[in-house]
Amino acid sequence: MGGRAWRGRGRGAVIAGLMWVRSAGPSGTRPQASPVVRSLPGPVPQRVTRTIPGAQVAWLWLQAQGQRPSLVGVDPGGRQVARSSELTASGSAAVYGTWRSADGSSIVTAGTDSLTVYSAHDGSRQQTYTRMPGVIVGDGFSPDGRLFALLVSTGDLHLQVIDLQRAKVQTVAVEHDPSARLPGMSGQLDKVVWGMPVFAPDSVHLYTLTDWGGPLRLTAFAVQDGVPVQTGTAVSGKDRGDFPSCGGPAMAMKVVGAGTTMAAFCHFDGAVWLFDTRTLRAAGTVPTHQGNPFWLSPIFTPDGRLLYLHQWPGFGDTMQVVDLATRRLLGPVAIPSNVDQAGPFAWLAGDAYAGGVASTVPVSPDGLKLYSATGDGVMALRIPDLKPLARLAAGVKCDEVWISGDGRTLYATADDGSKLVVMHEDGSEVHTVSLPARAGGFLASERG
C-alpha cells in the first residue's frame, strides 16, 4: 500500500523535522530542540531478487537451559521445517561462527579448520570446505551470495575468499599493525585483531578495515575468478593523513554511493565514518547522539542513501538518520506509533522498541519500508520520513522483526522469546508459532 504510493514520489521529499541539541537521557527527559526543515532523498526502489524458497524461511537461535544452542527454521506458513544443533557444532568441535548468506539461500558454519554450508530451505548439509585454522575476526558475503570472505588471525592476518559456487578457496596476507591499540581489551592478546571485510555492490571490489583502535588501515582488493588481488592500502598517520579511531571491537560497514564510498559505524561512540574507496582517503565523520556504547542499531537502506540509527528503548526509543551523501544528521526523534500521525521528524510519543543491538535490519527488500517491533504489534514505516503506514499484529508484544527475501512475509518474535508471529506483509494470514525453547534472535544476512 504505502510502498506503491511512495514509488511515484520522484527524487525526494521535504520533511519538517527537529534537530535535537542533545539526546534523551536515562531519566527519559526530552531533549531541547529547535525546528528546522531538511530534505532527505527519496528511496530508489530496489529489484527484489531473493525469491528462491530458502530465502523465505526464517531461522532463529534457540537456547534451552542447560542445552547447546540450536537453530530452528520456520516457513511462511508457520511450519517448522528444521531444527538442528548440528548447525551450532561441527562433529565434536565447537562452531566458531554461524552466518546466513547475503542471498538468503544458505547457512554457513565454521569449525576449527573447515566451513560447512547448509540449505536455508530445510537445513540439509550441502558442502564442506577446508579453511585456514585460526581466529575468525571478521566476515562478509558478496551481495550476489557467491563469495564469502573471512579475516583470519594466526598471529599474522589473512583474507580468505571462498567461492561457494565453484568450491574454490583463496587466501592472501593482509597487512596490519601487531602493536595496534585494543582499548578495553586485556589478557592474551597475541592473536587479537580488530578487522572486517566488506564487499562493494558489484561483488568484485572488496575492502578490509583493520586496527580501528589505531592506527586504522584501509585496504582494497579486486576479486577476479574468486582470487583476491590487493589494489591499494592506506594507514593512518602515514600517506593519507589521520583516520578516525574506534574504542571498541564492534563495527558495521557498507559500501554505498555506487561503490565510491565506504560507510562505517562505530558501536562504541556512535560515530559514522566515510571513506572514498577510489583514493582510500577519509571523506568525513558524522558524530551522532549515543549516550552509551551499543545503544544504537544501524540500519542501512538498500539503496545506500540513508543510515537509520535506532536507539535501544530502555533509554528512549528514538531514531536518527544520516544522509550519507550530504553527511547530514537528523534526530533523534521518537518513533511514531500511530498511523494517524504524520511522519517525523517531530517529537512523537510511542512505545516502539527493538531491544539492544538488533540481530536484523528490518527494511523491506524493495527499500521502501522500515518495520519496527513495538509493545503492540509491528509498525510499518515509510522510508525516508518514517510516516506510519500500518500497525500489524496488533495486541502482540513484539521484540524483533525479520523480513523474508521476497518481502511478502514478516516474522516477529514475542518479547519473552516464547512465540514467533508469522504474517503476510499486509498483516493478514497471521500464524502464531510456539517455539520449543526461548528465541535468542534471528540468524540474518544483515545485522544491526
For the residues 116-124, what does the mean pLDDT come to?
94
Return the DSSP state at 5. Answer: H
Task: Compute the residue count for the chain.
Answer: 448
Helices (H) and strands (E) in the chain, counts: 1, 35
Q: How far apart are CA 387 and CA 381, in angstroms?
A: 5
Q: Pick the residue with more confidence: 94 or 298?
A: 298
Query: In the structure, what pLDDT confidence band is assigned to residue 315 with cuts at 50, 70 and 90?
Result: low
Q: What is the pLDDT of residues 378-412, one digit of tens each?
A: 999 999 999 999 999 999 999 899 999 999 999 99
For the residues 211-238, what does the mean pLDDT come to?
94
* Residue whose C-alpha cell reads 554461524 in the numeric block: 98
State the alpha helices, DSSP H only, in 142-295. Answer: none
pLDDT score, position 9: 26
For the residues 121-135, what does the mean pLDDT come to?
91
The full set of domains in the chain, from first to last, is 1-104+291-448 (no CATH), 131-183+190-288 (2.130.10.10)
Amino acid at 29: T
Q: Give Cβ neighbours of residue 294 (< 8 Å, ≥ 6 apart).
A: 250, 267, 268, 312, 356, 357
Q: Is a pLDDT exceeding 80 seen at residue 114?
A: yes
Q: Pick the residue with more confidence: 54 or 318?
A: 54
CB 320 within 8 A of CB 332: yes
Query: In the structure, what pLDDT confidence band is assigned to residue 30 with cuts at 50, 70 and 90?
Result: very low
pLDDT score, position 334: 84
Q: What is the pLDDT of residues 318-362, one digit of tens each?
A: 899 999 999 999 989 888 777 776 665 433 323 333 334 678 889
Return the DSSP state at 247. Answer: S
Cell of 12: 525526494
Work out the mean pLDDT of the chain and round it to a whole number. Answer: 84
Strand partners, 375: none
pLDDT score, position 239: 61
pLDDT score, position 234: 95
